[in-house]
Structure 1
Amino acid sequence: MLDHLVYATPDLAATAADLAARGLKLSEGGPHQGLGTRNLLAGLGLGRYLEVIGPDPDQPRPQVARPFGIDMLTAPRLVTWAIRKADLDPADSVAMSRTRPDGVVLRWRLSFPESGDGVVPFTIDWGRTPHPSADAAEGARLIALTATHPEPAAVTREIEGLGAQLDVLPGPVQLRAVIATPGGEVTLR
Protein backbone atom coordinates (compact mmCIF):
# COMPACT_ATOMS: atom_id res chain seq x y z
CA MET A 1 0.00 0.00 0.00
CA LEU A 2 1.35 3.42 -0.98
CA ASP A 3 2.22 5.36 2.17
CA HIS A 4 3.78 8.58 0.95
CA LEU A 5 5.75 10.44 -1.72
CA VAL A 6 9.03 12.20 -0.92
CA TYR A 7 9.64 15.56 -2.61
CA ALA A 8 13.10 16.76 -1.57
CA THR A 9 14.30 20.32 -1.90
CA PRO A 10 17.39 22.40 -1.17
CA ASP A 11 15.15 25.29 0.04
CA LEU A 12 12.06 24.26 2.02
CA ALA A 13 10.57 27.77 2.36
CA ALA A 14 10.89 28.59 -1.36
CA THR A 15 9.45 25.21 -2.39
CA ALA A 16 6.54 25.58 0.05
CA ALA A 17 5.77 29.04 -1.38
CA ASP A 18 5.89 27.68 -4.94
CA LEU A 19 3.59 24.75 -4.13
CA ALA A 20 1.15 27.04 -2.27
CA ALA A 21 1.03 29.36 -5.29
CA ARG A 22 0.16 26.31 -7.42
CA GLY A 23 -2.69 25.38 -5.04
CA LEU A 24 -1.05 22.71 -2.89
CA LYS A 25 -1.60 23.44 0.79
CA LEU A 26 1.04 22.11 3.23
CA SER A 27 1.12 21.78 7.01
CA GLU A 28 4.09 21.68 9.34
CA GLY A 29 5.40 18.16 9.93
CA GLY A 30 8.40 18.85 12.11
CA PRO A 31 12.18 18.54 12.42
CA HIS A 32 14.25 15.38 12.10
CA GLN A 33 16.71 16.13 14.91
CA GLY A 34 20.29 15.30 14.09
CA LEU A 35 19.60 14.93 10.36
CA GLY A 36 19.38 18.67 9.73
CA THR A 37 15.99 18.38 7.99
CA ARG A 38 12.36 19.20 8.56
CA ASN A 39 9.26 18.44 6.57
CA LEU A 40 5.91 19.80 5.46
CA LEU A 41 2.95 17.55 4.64
CA ALA A 42 -0.07 17.39 2.38
CA GLY A 43 -2.69 14.67 2.70
CA LEU A 44 -3.34 12.86 -0.59
CA GLY A 45 -6.41 10.89 0.44
CA LEU A 46 -6.80 7.23 1.39
CA GLY A 47 -4.24 7.46 4.23
CA ARG A 48 -1.48 8.71 1.91
CA TYR A 49 0.51 11.93 2.00
CA LEU A 50 3.17 14.04 0.33
CA GLU A 51 6.30 14.78 2.36
CA VAL A 52 8.20 17.90 1.29
CA ILE A 53 11.59 17.65 3.00
CA GLY A 54 14.53 20.02 3.05
CA PRO A 55 17.25 21.57 5.21
CA ASP A 56 16.12 22.87 8.59
CA PRO A 57 17.62 26.34 9.16
CA ASP A 58 17.04 25.93 12.91
CA GLN A 59 19.44 22.96 13.15
CA PRO A 60 23.20 22.95 12.71
CA ARG A 61 24.54 21.34 9.56
CA PRO A 62 24.71 17.59 10.29
CA GLN A 63 27.99 15.65 10.37
CA VAL A 64 26.66 13.28 7.69
CA ALA A 65 24.87 13.96 4.41
CA ARG A 66 21.18 14.77 4.73
CA PRO A 67 18.82 12.01 3.53
CA PHE A 68 17.44 11.74 -0.02
CA GLY A 69 20.42 13.53 -1.55
CA ILE A 70 19.19 16.89 -0.28
CA ASP A 71 22.71 18.34 -0.05
CA MET A 72 23.28 17.63 -3.76
CA LEU A 73 20.01 19.09 -5.06
CA THR A 74 19.88 22.34 -6.99
CA ALA A 75 16.08 22.21 -7.44
CA PRO A 76 13.16 20.31 -5.87
CA ARG A 77 12.69 16.74 -7.07
CA LEU A 78 10.33 13.83 -6.46
CA VAL A 79 13.05 11.49 -5.16
CA THR A 80 11.21 8.37 -4.01
CA TRP A 81 8.07 6.86 -2.54
CA ALA A 82 7.26 4.62 0.39
CA ILE A 83 4.97 1.67 0.89
CA ARG A 84 3.54 0.67 4.25
CA LYS A 85 4.56 -2.68 5.71
CA ALA A 86 3.84 -3.97 9.20
CA ASP A 87 6.45 -5.57 11.43
CA LEU A 88 9.68 -4.63 9.64
CA ASP A 89 12.58 -6.67 10.97
CA PRO A 90 14.64 -4.48 13.34
CA ALA A 91 17.82 -6.12 11.99
CA ASP A 92 17.01 -4.97 8.43
CA SER A 93 15.54 -1.54 9.17
CA VAL A 94 16.42 1.82 10.70
CA ALA A 95 14.52 3.42 13.59
CA MET A 96 13.63 7.10 13.17
CA SER A 97 11.54 9.75 14.88
CA ARG A 98 10.39 13.35 14.75
CA THR A 99 8.34 15.61 16.99
CA ARG A 100 5.18 17.18 15.60
CA PRO A 101 4.48 20.87 16.37
CA ASP A 102 1.98 19.76 19.04
CA GLY A 103 4.71 17.82 20.88
CA VAL A 104 3.63 14.32 19.83
CA VAL A 105 6.66 12.17 19.00
CA LEU A 106 6.28 9.94 15.93
CA ARG A 107 8.44 6.81 15.72
CA TRP A 108 8.82 4.52 12.73
CA ARG A 109 11.14 2.06 11.01
CA LEU A 110 12.46 2.26 7.43
CA SER A 111 13.98 -0.31 5.12
CA PHE A 112 15.62 0.84 1.90
CA PRO A 113 15.97 -1.19 -1.32
CA GLU A 114 19.39 -2.05 -2.71
CA SER A 115 18.81 0.14 -5.76
CA GLY A 116 19.02 3.70 -4.55
CA ASP A 117 17.49 5.44 -7.55
CA GLY A 118 14.08 6.02 -5.93
CA VAL A 119 11.87 4.18 -8.42
CA VAL A 120 11.78 1.09 -6.20
CA PRO A 121 10.08 2.26 -2.98
CA PHE A 122 11.40 2.00 0.52
CA THR A 123 9.21 0.35 3.15
CA ILE A 124 7.96 2.01 6.32
CA ASP A 125 6.39 0.62 9.48
CA TRP A 126 4.61 3.18 11.66
CA GLY A 127 4.01 0.70 14.49
CA ARG A 128 1.66 2.28 17.03
CA THR A 129 2.50 5.89 16.24
CA PRO A 130 -0.18 8.13 14.67
CA HIS A 131 0.04 8.16 10.88
CA PRO A 132 1.15 11.56 9.46
CA SER A 133 -1.72 11.68 6.97
CA ALA A 134 -4.13 12.08 9.90
CA ASP A 135 -2.99 15.64 10.62
CA ALA A 136 -1.57 16.66 7.22
CA ALA A 137 -3.09 19.58 5.30
CA GLU A 138 -6.24 18.49 3.49
CA GLY A 139 -7.64 19.29 0.07
CA ALA A 140 -5.28 17.40 -2.27
CA ARG A 141 -5.68 14.01 -3.91
CA LEU A 142 -3.17 11.81 -5.72
CA ILE A 143 -4.35 11.19 -9.28
CA ALA A 144 -1.37 9.27 -10.66
CA LEU A 145 2.11 8.03 -9.81
CA THR A 146 4.25 6.74 -12.69
CA ALA A 147 7.93 6.26 -13.45
CA THR A 148 10.45 5.83 -16.20
CA HIS A 149 13.56 3.68 -15.86
CA PRO A 150 16.19 2.26 -18.26
CA GLU A 151 15.28 -1.27 -17.08
CA PRO A 152 11.49 -1.13 -16.61
CA ALA A 153 10.88 -4.90 -16.53
CA ALA A 154 13.46 -5.57 -13.82
CA VAL A 155 12.29 -2.63 -11.72
CA THR A 156 8.65 -3.65 -12.09
CA ARG A 157 9.48 -7.17 -10.84
CA GLU A 158 11.28 -5.71 -7.82
CA ILE A 159 8.34 -3.42 -7.03
CA GLU A 160 5.85 -6.28 -7.39
CA GLY A 161 8.08 -8.41 -5.13
CA LEU A 162 7.40 -5.83 -2.41
CA GLY A 163 3.66 -6.21 -2.96
CA ALA A 164 3.28 -2.86 -4.72
CA GLN A 165 2.44 -1.72 -8.23
CA LEU A 166 3.73 1.13 -10.38
CA ASP A 167 3.55 1.82 -14.11
CA VAL A 168 7.19 1.96 -15.25
CA LEU A 169 8.03 2.87 -18.85
CA PRO A 170 11.42 2.91 -20.60
CA GLY A 171 13.41 6.12 -20.15
CA PRO A 172 15.70 7.93 -17.76
CA VAL A 173 15.17 7.40 -14.03
CA GLN A 174 12.26 9.61 -12.98
CA LEU A 175 9.13 9.55 -10.84
CA ARG A 176 6.08 11.61 -11.79
CA ALA A 177 3.11 12.38 -9.55
CA VAL A 178 -0.05 14.23 -10.55
CA ILE A 179 -1.93 15.75 -7.63
CA ALA A 180 -5.38 17.35 -7.77
CA THR A 181 -5.76 20.50 -5.67
CA PRO A 182 -8.58 23.04 -5.33
CA GLY A 183 -6.53 25.28 -7.67
CA GLY A 184 -5.95 22.62 -10.35
CA GLU A 185 -3.48 19.83 -11.01
CA VAL A 186 0.10 19.95 -9.76
CA THR A 187 2.70 17.70 -11.40
CA LEU A 188 5.84 16.81 -9.45
CA ARG A 189 8.90 15.24 -11.06
Structure 2
Amino acid sequence: MLDHLAYATPTLDDTVAALEKALGVRAAEGGRHPGLGTRNYLYGLGGRRYLEIIGPDPEQPEPDGPRWFMIDELSGPRLVNWCMRPADLDATVAEARRHGVDPGEPRAMSRRTTDGDLLEWRLTMPSRDPLVPFLIDWGTTVHPADRGLPEVSLLSLTGRHPDPGHARTRLRAFGAELEVERGDTPGLVARLAGGVVLS
Protein backbone atom coordinates (compact mmCIF):
# COMPACT_ATOMS: atom_id res chain seq x y z
CA MET A 1 0.00 0.00 0.00
CA LEU A 2 1.38 3.40 -0.99
CA ASP A 3 2.28 5.52 2.03
CA HIS A 4 4.05 8.45 0.41
CA LEU A 5 6.09 9.74 -2.51
CA ALA A 6 9.50 11.33 -2.00
CA TYR A 7 10.08 14.39 -4.19
CA ALA A 8 13.64 15.51 -3.45
CA THR A 9 15.16 18.85 -4.34
CA PRO A 10 18.40 20.76 -3.78
CA THR A 11 16.42 24.03 -3.44
CA LEU A 12 13.50 23.33 -1.12
CA ASP A 13 11.96 26.81 -0.89
CA ASP A 14 12.03 27.28 -4.67
CA THR A 15 10.43 23.88 -5.27
CA VAL A 16 7.70 24.47 -2.70
CA ALA A 17 6.92 27.83 -4.34
CA ALA A 18 6.82 26.29 -7.82
CA LEU A 19 4.42 23.56 -6.69
CA GLU A 20 2.22 26.11 -4.95
CA LYS A 21 1.95 28.03 -8.22
CA ALA A 22 1.21 24.88 -10.22
CA LEU A 23 -1.27 23.33 -7.78
CA GLY A 24 -2.93 26.45 -6.40
CA VAL A 25 -2.34 25.47 -2.76
CA ARG A 26 0.77 25.64 -0.59
CA ALA A 27 2.23 22.54 1.01
CA ALA A 28 2.20 22.29 4.80
CA GLU A 29 5.52 22.55 6.56
CA GLY A 30 6.35 19.12 7.96
CA GLY A 31 9.45 19.49 10.07
CA ARG A 32 13.17 18.94 10.34
CA HIS A 33 15.13 15.69 10.38
CA PRO A 34 17.77 16.30 13.07
CA GLY A 35 21.23 15.10 12.12
CA LEU A 36 20.24 14.37 8.51
CA GLY A 37 20.40 17.96 7.31
CA THR A 38 16.93 17.96 5.76
CA ARG A 39 13.41 19.27 6.28
CA ASN A 40 10.17 18.68 4.44
CA TYR A 41 6.80 19.98 3.28
CA LEU A 42 3.74 17.81 2.72
CA TYR A 43 0.61 17.50 0.58
CA GLY A 44 -2.10 14.95 1.24
CA LEU A 45 -2.82 12.71 -1.76
CA GLY A 46 -6.18 11.39 -0.59
CA GLY A 47 -6.64 8.70 2.02
CA ARG A 48 -3.60 7.86 4.13
CA ARG A 49 -1.13 8.92 1.43
CA TYR A 50 0.98 12.01 1.00
CA LEU A 51 3.64 13.72 -1.08
CA GLU A 52 6.84 14.60 0.77
CA ILE A 53 8.92 17.45 -0.66
CA ILE A 54 12.32 17.09 0.97
CA GLY A 55 15.48 19.14 0.67
CA PRO A 56 18.42 20.65 2.56
CA ASP A 57 17.79 22.49 5.81
CA PRO A 58 20.13 25.50 5.97
CA GLU A 59 19.46 25.87 9.69
CA GLN A 60 21.14 22.53 10.44
CA PRO A 61 24.86 21.79 10.35
CA GLU A 62 26.13 19.79 7.40
CA PRO A 63 25.40 16.09 8.06
CA ASP A 64 28.19 13.60 8.61
CA GLY A 65 27.34 11.77 5.39
CA PRO A 66 25.33 12.33 2.21
CA ARG A 67 21.76 13.47 2.62
CA TRP A 68 19.08 10.86 1.93
CA PHE A 69 17.40 10.60 -1.47
CA MET A 70 20.58 11.64 -3.30
CA ILE A 71 19.73 15.27 -2.54
CA ASP A 72 23.38 16.36 -2.72
CA GLU A 73 23.64 14.92 -6.25
CA LEU A 74 20.52 16.55 -7.70
CA SER A 75 20.58 19.53 -10.05
CA GLY A 76 16.80 19.97 -9.76
CA PRO A 77 13.73 18.40 -8.16
CA ARG A 78 13.06 14.74 -8.87
CA LEU A 79 10.59 12.08 -7.82
CA VAL A 80 13.25 9.83 -6.32
CA ASN A 81 11.36 7.06 -4.53
CA TRP A 82 8.10 5.78 -3.12
CA CYS A 83 7.27 4.33 0.27
CA MET A 84 5.01 1.38 1.08
CA ARG A 85 3.18 0.88 4.36
CA PRO A 86 2.84 -2.91 4.75
CA ALA A 87 0.56 -4.50 7.31
CA ASP A 88 3.64 -6.09 8.92
CA LEU A 89 6.96 -4.36 8.27
CA ASP A 90 9.22 -7.11 9.62
CA ALA A 91 7.35 -9.87 7.78
CA THR A 92 7.58 -7.92 4.51
CA VAL A 93 11.33 -7.44 4.97
CA ALA A 94 11.74 -11.17 5.61
CA GLU A 95 9.64 -12.07 2.55
CA ALA A 96 11.61 -9.71 0.31
CA ARG A 97 14.84 -11.32 1.48
CA ARG A 98 13.45 -14.76 0.65
CA HIS A 99 12.96 -13.46 -2.89
CA GLY A 100 16.53 -12.17 -3.11
CA VAL A 101 15.87 -8.48 -2.40
CA ASP A 102 17.24 -7.09 0.87
CA PRO A 103 15.60 -3.79 1.89
CA GLY A 104 17.90 -3.54 4.92
CA GLU A 105 17.18 -3.48 8.63
CA PRO A 106 14.34 -1.19 9.73
CA ARG A 107 15.53 1.73 11.83
CA ALA A 108 13.68 3.90 14.33
CA MET A 109 13.34 7.58 13.47
CA SER A 110 11.44 10.63 14.71
CA ARG A 111 10.85 14.32 14.09
CA ARG A 112 8.89 17.16 15.63
CA THR A 113 6.05 18.84 13.76
CA THR A 114 5.88 22.63 13.62
CA ASP A 115 3.39 22.35 16.53
CA GLY A 116 5.94 20.43 18.57
CA ASP A 117 4.25 17.04 18.33
CA LEU A 118 6.63 14.08 18.20
CA LEU A 119 6.23 11.71 15.26
CA GLU A 120 7.94 8.32 15.54
CA TRP A 121 8.24 5.58 12.94
CA ARG A 122 10.37 2.69 11.70
CA LEU A 123 11.55 2.42 8.11
CA THR A 124 14.02 0.76 5.80
CA MET A 125 16.58 2.87 3.95
CA PRO A 126 15.48 4.33 0.61
CA SER A 127 17.04 2.64 -2.42
CA ARG A 128 18.90 4.43 -5.18
CA ASP A 129 16.60 2.54 -7.55
CA PRO A 130 13.41 4.66 -7.62
CA LEU A 131 11.23 1.65 -8.41
CA VAL A 132 12.28 -0.31 -5.32
CA PRO A 133 10.08 1.00 -2.48
CA PHE A 134 11.26 1.60 1.02
CA LEU A 135 8.99 0.44 3.85
CA ILE A 136 7.50 2.24 6.83
CA ASP A 137 5.59 1.45 10.02
CA TRP A 138 4.07 4.41 11.86
CA GLY A 139 3.25 2.37 14.97
CA THR A 140 0.95 4.37 17.25
CA THR A 141 1.89 7.78 15.77
CA VAL A 142 -0.88 9.72 14.02
CA HIS A 143 -0.24 9.39 10.30
CA PRO A 144 0.87 12.65 8.61
CA ALA A 145 -2.05 12.44 6.16
CA ASP A 146 -4.46 12.41 9.13
CA ARG A 147 -3.15 15.76 10.37
CA GLY A 148 -5.16 18.06 8.09
CA LEU A 149 -2.75 18.44 5.17
CA PRO A 150 -3.68 20.48 2.09
CA GLU A 151 -4.79 17.90 -0.47
CA VAL A 152 -4.13 17.33 -4.13
CA SER A 153 -5.41 14.34 -6.11
CA LEU A 154 -2.97 11.64 -7.20
CA LEU A 155 -4.32 10.41 -10.54
CA SER A 156 -1.68 7.77 -11.26
CA LEU A 157 1.76 6.48 -10.30
CA THR A 158 3.75 4.52 -12.86
CA GLY A 159 7.34 3.42 -13.37
CA ARG A 160 9.76 3.12 -16.25
CA HIS A 161 12.78 0.85 -16.49
CA PRO A 162 15.15 -0.48 -19.18
CA ASP A 163 14.13 -4.02 -18.13
CA PRO A 164 10.47 -3.85 -17.01
CA GLY A 165 10.35 -7.60 -16.33
CA HIS A 166 13.28 -7.40 -13.90
CA ALA A 167 11.68 -4.40 -12.18
CA ARG A 168 8.37 -6.23 -11.80
CA THR A 169 10.15 -9.23 -10.28
CA ARG A 170 11.78 -7.02 -7.66
CA LEU A 171 8.45 -5.33 -6.93
CA ARG A 172 6.75 -8.69 -6.41
CA ALA A 173 9.32 -9.44 -3.70
CA PHE A 174 7.62 -6.69 -1.67
CA GLY A 175 4.09 -7.63 -2.68
CA ALA A 176 4.02 -4.30 -4.53
CA GLU A 177 1.98 -3.48 -7.60
CA LEU A 178 3.17 -0.77 -9.97
CA GLU A 179 2.68 -0.42 -13.71
CA VAL A 180 6.16 -0.39 -15.28
CA GLU A 181 6.86 0.63 -18.87
CA ARG A 182 10.11 0.41 -20.82
CA GLY A 183 12.31 3.49 -20.53
CA ASP A 184 15.94 4.48 -20.92
CA THR A 185 16.52 4.95 -17.19
CA PRO A 186 14.66 3.80 -14.05
CA GLY A 187 12.17 6.38 -12.84
CA LEU A 188 8.75 7.17 -11.42
CA VAL A 189 6.00 9.34 -12.87
CA ALA A 190 3.21 10.75 -10.69
CA ARG A 191 0.30 12.55 -12.33
CA LEU A 192 -1.57 14.97 -10.12
CA ALA A 193 -4.81 16.85 -10.68
CA GLY A 194 -4.44 20.03 -12.68
CA GLY A 195 -2.07 18.49 -15.20
CA VAL A 196 0.93 18.51 -12.86
CA VAL A 197 3.40 15.71 -13.56
CA LEU A 198 6.26 14.84 -11.20
CA SER A 199 9.09 12.63 -12.43
Calculate the TM-score normalised by the size of structure 1.
Answer: 0.92
Preserved contact between residue 69 and residue 128 of structure 2 (Cα < 8 Å): no
AA paired with 1:187?
Answer: V
| Distance across 1 between alignment mates of 2:89 and 2:187 | 27
| Distance across 1 between alignment mates of 2:132 and 2:167 | 7
AA paired with 1:45?
Answer: G
1:103 to 116, 123, 128: 116
Give the corresponding residue for 1:16.
16
Q: 1:136, CA displacement in angstroms?
A: 5.1
AA paired with 1:169?
Answer: E
Preserved contact between residue 17 and residue 26 of structure 2 (Cα < 8 Å): no
Give the corresponding residue for 1:76.
77
Secondary structure at 2:166 match in 1: helix
Give the corresponding residue for 2:176.
164
Cα deviations across residues 92-119 of structure 1 (Å, max 9, x unaligned)?
A: 2111111101111111111247x63111
**Could you say if the C-alpha distance between residues 92 and 48 of structure 1 is closer, same or farther in structure 2, counting changes exceeding 3 Å?**
same
AA paired with 2:37?
Answer: G
Structure 2 residue 44 is matched with structure 1 residue 31: no
| Distance across 2 between alignment mates of 1:162 and 1:88 | 10
AA paired with 1:147?
Answer: G
Secondary structure at 1:178 match in 2: strand
| Distance across 2 between alignment mates of 1:163 and 1:133 | 23
AA paired with 1:48?
Answer: R
| Distance across 1 between alignment mates of 2:87 and 2:32 | 24
**Could you say if the C-alpha distance between residues 69 and 130 of structure 1 is closer, same or farther in structure 2, counting changes exceeding 3 Å?**
same
**CA-based RMSD:** 1.7
| Runs of 4+ off more than 6 Å | none
Cα deviations across residues 109-153 of structure 1 (Å, max 9, x unaligned)?
A: 11247x631111111111111111112532301100011111211
Preserved contact between residue 112 and residue 121 of structure 1 (Cα < 8 Å): no
Give the corresponding residue for 2:135.
123
| Distance across 1 between alignment mates of 2:144 and 2:150 | 12
Give the corresponding residue for 1:188.
198
AA paired with 1:95?
Answer: A
Secondary structure at 2:115 match in 1: coil
Matched positions, count: 185
Preserved contact between residue 11 and residue 56 of structure 2 (Cα < 8 Å): yes
Q: Percent identity?
A: 51
- 1:141-160 superposed matches below 5 A: 141-160=153-172
Give the corresponding residue for 1:6.
6
Structure 2 residue 145 is matched with structure 1 residue 133: yes
| Distance across 1 between alignment mates of 2:26 and 2:170 | 33
| Distance across 1 between alignment mates of 2:173 and 2:71 | 28
Preserved contact between residue 108 and residue 127 of structure 1 (Cα < 8 Å): yes
| Distance across 2 between alignment mates of 1:66 and 1:111 | 15
Calculate the TM-score normalised by the size of structure 2.
Answer: 0.88
